[in-house]
């Protein structure tokens, strides 16, 4: 038994599993094992896990739905903490909704609609959680979470802080949480009263557009690349003749070239090789270097 296991047994009742494959916890359905994996059921358990990891000197990866995450085939040499149902509470506050990090953005959007609150319609089809969405300022169809966030609750080392949305430095797929290496624990969303029929109609429209244009029947991480200034990643990839290009089980979607899909049996190495192929080809053809939007973590085998 190593130092971390001893500390965890002593300080926290939460079950810590070893060598847990992460492929079933990412929407790409790839990823090697985590040395340690836990799903805390309370903030006290989360705090105990983080303290034990800090004392043992091992890295921590906080994850939600795994929708914007590519874990390398060698897995993660440290502790993966998954915030799931126990951290998914959503409730109303005076100016909108507040939600914990593990709440699904799709559920948050539906809760807003049910309360006739407008501002989150765009999030209806985003497969991620509040924590990951705030961390990378998720958005779609012209909307971004950062535009309606009143404040964010973060863990800064050992201190829980509430940061005003105006101080979060939200930008395109970016937030201050990335720069400061904060863990997002929750957020307050400032929303406006709206017409429920119009809100529902907007959400149905976004859902129909996603179904028509996105490869929803394949595992993916959503848009794999960031939108380069003055361009659209999907259009550049299609122009380069890469639709349907495949490496192993990873494929450029024929339906939307901005999506890299798991066509069956893909590995993280397949996705990384396909990513580099797409980047090299597009840069050669258009002079634009595509940057991954997907967060890449872990080690090679």
**What is the 3-class SS of 25-58, one letter each residue?**
HCCCCCCCEEEEEECCCCHHHHHHHHHHHHHHCC
Q: Domain 217-297, what fold?
A: 3.90.78
Same fold, 3-85 and 88-198: no
DSSP characters over the chain: --HHHHHHHHH--S-EEEEEE-GGGSTT----EEEEEE--SSHHHHHHHHHHHHHHT--EEEESS-TTEEE-TT-EEEEEEE--GGG--EEEETTEEEEETTSBHHHHHHHHHHTTEES-GGGGG--SBHHHHHHTT-EETTEEGGGGEEEEEEEETTEEEEEEGGGS--BTTB-HHHHHTPEEEEEEEE-EE--HHHHHHHHHHHHHHHHHHS-TTS-EEEE-B---TTS-HHHHHHHTT-TT-EETTEEE-SS-TTEEEE-SS--HHHHHHHHHHHHHHHHHHHS-PPPB-SEEES---
pLDDT at 296: 97
pLDDT at 4: 63
> Where do the structural domains in the chain lie, given as residue ranges?
3-85, 88-198, 217-297
Distance CA 218, CA 25 (A): 15
pLDDT at 2: 62
Can you give the pTM of this predicted structure?
Answer: 0.89
Q: Domain 88-198, what fold?
A: 3.30.465
Query: Which residues, 6 or more positions from 289, have their beta carbon under 8 angstroms from its beta carbon?
Result: 228, 279, 282, 283
Which positions are annotated as active-site residues? 173, 223, 293
**Residue ranges for the chain with pLDDT beneath 70:** 1-13
Sign of CA dihedral 12, 17, 20, 24: negative
- 3-85 has CATH 3.30.43.10 classification: yes
pLDDT at 14: 78
């Amino acid at each position: 038994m190593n130092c971390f296991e001893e500390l965890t047994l002593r300080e926290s009742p939460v079950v810590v599993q070893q060598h847990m494959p992460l492929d079933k916890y990412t929407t790409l359905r790839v990823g090697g094992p985590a040395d340690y994996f836990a799903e805390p059921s309370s903030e006290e358990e989360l705090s105990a896990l983080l303290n034990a990891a800090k004392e043992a000197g091992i890295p921590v990866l906080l994850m939600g739905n795994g929708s914007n995450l590519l874990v390398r085939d060698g897995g993660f040499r440290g502790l993966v903490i998954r915030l799931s149902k126990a951290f998914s509470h959503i409730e109303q506050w005076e100016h909108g909704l507040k939600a914990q990090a593990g709440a699904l953005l799709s559920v948050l959007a539906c809760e807003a609609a049910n309360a006739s609150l407008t501002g989150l319609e765009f999030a209806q089809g985003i497969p991620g959680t509040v924590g990951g969405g705030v961390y990378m300022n998720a958005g779609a169809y012209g909307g971004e979470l950062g535009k309606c966030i009143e404040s964010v609750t973060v863990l800064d080392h050992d201190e829980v802080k509430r940061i005003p949305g105006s101080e979060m430095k939200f930008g395109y797929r970016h937030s201050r949480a990335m720069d400061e290496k904060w863990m997002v624990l929750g957020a307050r969303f400032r929303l406006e009263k709206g017409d429920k029929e119009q809100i529902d109609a907007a959400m149905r429209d976004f859902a129909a557009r996603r179904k028509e244009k996105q490869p929803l029947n394949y595992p993916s991480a959503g848009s794999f690349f960031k939108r380069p200034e003055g361009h659209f990643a999907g259009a550049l990839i299609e122009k380069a003749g890469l639709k349907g290009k495949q490496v192993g089980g990873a494929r450029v979607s024929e339906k939307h070239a901005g999506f890299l899909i798991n066509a069956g049996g893909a590995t993280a190495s397949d996705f990384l090789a396909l990513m580099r192929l797409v980047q090299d080809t597009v840069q050669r053809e258009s002079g634009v270097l595509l940057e991954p939007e997907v967060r890449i973590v872990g080690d090679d085998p």
